Structure 1
Amino acid sequence: MKQPTGSDDDVARELLQSVVATAQAIFGAEASSIFLLDEAADELVFEAVSGQGEEFLVGTRFPAGRGIAGWVATSGEPVIVDDLTRNGSFARDLAESTRYVPDALMAVPLVHGSRVLGVLEVLDPVPQSRSSLGELDLLALFARQAAVALRVVLDRRDAGTPRLGGQGRAESLRMVEALRELLLEAR
């Protein structure tokens, strides 16, 4: 069996892209994205995008204290907003700068331990997903699993340990795939 040769950064990108693509599919959404918190710069950074904006948004930065994603990152609380035109936290100017302004969204923090690593957003999910507390719980469960896997990759990278390859990488990707299948079956 051929061993994967990607760096930890490649593995992290692949993991995050898998998470947003799965979230988009599970909730029938127009888009899904992950923002990671850059604490030093006090910014949220688009790290993975599926759907609207995926061609150009990765790497785009926003102030961590603005918008619904900023609120979720600060509070550590998940949120469903069915009508963004009526939500005072929605930063329409930031959404317009992404070239896609959603009508509704679901957002959950990516939490590991007591630390918020970032935010997973699902934009314009199908209506039955937007209004169900059970669906928000499902997204939060998915985000918690993604945060654990992401933290392992980031900790290894920050510690300067050898890249996550071979069996460790394969196990991480199998975990994400198994979680995706479980979530799709639950729908």
Structure 2
Amino acid sequence: MSRDGELRAAVAAAALGADEAHRELLDSVVQTARAIFGARASSVFLLDEPAGELVFAAVSGEGEADLIGRRFPAGTGIAGFTLASRQPLVLDDVSRDPRFSRAAAESTGYVPRGLMSVPLLRGDRAIGVLQVLDRQAGRFGLAEMELLGLFAGQAAAALDVLERARRARAVLDDGDDRLAAVARLAEALDRTGGRRGDAADRLLAALGDLMR
């Protein structure tokens, strides 16, 4: 197999593996959050920037069989506020908060009483929201919200992996000539040595910075 073919096969395998790992981690985040807080439901929403919408990406508990893939405008309700403000939020009674959208909640088939909502952050960008709904014993507090933030960090890391995998897959699907160029570069770098090898290492480091 040519170097180009080897690279394409490796990228495809990595993309598929990252995609599966992403889904498993998101499912783990919502399931674990729900279990730890004894909640009725937990959800991860992802931002579809071109469409300006939030999308249910993972759900545990109420609505988990029907909500995956459901969309609504990114500015809607508590999730929309969390996304825009990049700030976590705890509410004991959502009906008393003007930011709560009862119509949006009713459309999902479940209207919560209380919730925690934290942003999924990649650097300065909010890329989604993690929520936990209705603790069955006691109330949500600041300590619980801090713990939920840890799960949000895991989810954001998983999304970063997925985005890289999707970019790689898009290159494969489009037959992008950049892969062949990278393959030729890799082959040439294999032959470098001495001071030229040091320069090649610096080039690889620069390319890595560019891709992050």
| 1:64-103 map, 5 Å | 64-103=74-113
The structure with the larger Rg is 2
Choose which of 129, 146, 157 in structure 1 pairs with 2:155: 146
Extract unaligned runs of 5+ from structure 2. Answer: 1-14, 173-212
Check conservation: 1:19, 1:146, Cα contact below 8 A.
Answer: yes
- Counting only pairs closer than 5 Å after superposition, residues 95-174 of structure 1 correspond to structure 2 as 95-130=105-140, 132-160=141-169
Q: Distance in 1 between matches of 2:41 and 2:34?
A: 6
Letter aligned with residue 114 of structure 2: A
- Residue equivalent to 1:168: none
CA RMSD of superposed structures (Å)? 2.2
Instruction: In structure 2, give the amino acid aligned to 1:154.
Output: E
Shift of 1:57: 0.3
Query: For 2:60 and 2:120, how far apart are their aligned partners in 1?
Result: 17
1:141 Cα deviation (Å)?
Answer: 1.9
Q: Distance in 2 between matches of 1:135 and 1:37?
A: 24
Report the CA distance between 1:91 and its aligned residue.
Answer: 0.4
Structure 1 unpaired stretches of 5+: 163-187
C-alpha displacement of 1:157: 2.1
Counterpart Cα distance in 2 of 1:72 and 1:12: 22
**Residues 26 and 158, structure 2, Cα contact 8 Å, conserved in 1:** no
| Distance in 1 separating the partners of 2:135 and 2:147 | 13
Are residues 149 and 129 of structure 1, via their aligned partners in 2, closer, same or farther at CA, if it must alter by over 3 Å?
farther
Structure 2 contact 53–72 (Cα < 8 Å) conserved: yes
Distance 2:58 2:44 in 1: 5
Cα distance in 2 for partners of 1:156, 1:89 equals 35
TM-score (norm 2): 0.69
What secondary structure, in the 3-state scheme, does the structure 1 residue paired with 2:39 have? coil
Identity %: 55
* Contact 2:92–2:139, Cα closer than 8 Å, also in 1: no
3-state SS, counterpart of residue 103 of structure 2: helix
Q: Higher mean Cα deviation, 73-82 or 121-130?
A: 121-130
